[in-house]
């Protein structure tokens, strides 16, 4: 069960373009763009219904190569 959860989280990071992050990296060391990408992908993937996402300048805080 634990192995499945680890694989699931690593797959998630890969799917949102953060495959370079290591499992032992503290969340406080993430850049603003990395943290924003994880938060947004988590919310979108939560399968909520009846939700409208309004993205105002979604690339703010992202690294130039990600724009």
What lies within 8 Å, CB to CB, of 38 at 6+ separation is: 13, 16, 18, 30
Contact of 52 with 59, CB cutoff 8 Å: no
CA distance to 47, 61, 67, per residue, from 20 (Å): 26, 18, 18
Q: Tell me what pLDDT residue 61 has.
A: 67
What is 47-67 written as a DSSP string? --SS-----SSTTTTS-GGG-
Q: Sorting pLDDT into bands at 50, 70 and 90, what band is 66?
A: low
Q: What is the mean pLDDT of residues 4-16?
A: 88
Query: pTM, whole model, 2 decimals?
Result: 0.64
pLDDT at 63 over 80: no
Read off the pLDDT of residues 12-53 as tens digits, 9 standing for 90 and up.
889 888 889 988 899 999 998 888 888 888 888 888 888 888
Higher pLDDT, 63 or 4: 4
């Amino acid at each position: 069960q634990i192995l499945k959860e680890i694989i699931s989280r690593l797959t998630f990071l890969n799917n949102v373009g953060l495959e370079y992050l290591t499992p032992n990296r503290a969340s406080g060391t993430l850049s603003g763009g990395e943290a924003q990408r994880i938060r947004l992908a988590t919310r979108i993937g939560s399968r909520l219904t009846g939700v409208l996402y309004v993205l105002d300048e979604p690339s703010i805080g992202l690294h130039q190569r990600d724009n």
